[in-house]
Amino acid sequence: MAEFAIGGIFMLVSVAVSLLGFAFWVWMLIDCLTKEPSEGNDKLIWALVIIVLPAIGALLYLFVRRPERIDTYGQ
């Protein structure tokens, strides 16, 4: 019986982590598409990076590009 309880808890945690990861990915994609300036191809390139490399691309955008954009453009 304990195996079922542990398995159920593991499944709930897995689903929660997956949903949070998906929500983070959608947030970064929307942030890129709505707030990234349309100068050159930056918006297109970052959107493709986020789409093609979902977890890594979203993290790269969050830690590399987003602070730079906020410092430069204030949004």
Segment 18-46 mean pLDDT: 92
What is the CA 6 to chain-centroid distance, rounded? 29
d(CA 51, CA 47): 6
How do residues 38-58 score in pLDDT, each as one tens digit?
A: 888 889 999 999 999 999 999
d(CA 46, CA 6): 40
Amino acid at position 43, single letter: K
Confirm whether pTM is higher than 0.75. yes
d(CA 48, CA 66): 15
Segment 61-67 mean pLDDT: 90
Residue 59 CA: distances (Å) to CA of 8, 28, 49, 56: 29, 8, 10, 5
Provide the residue ranges of all domains of the chain, joining segments of one domain with +: 22-73
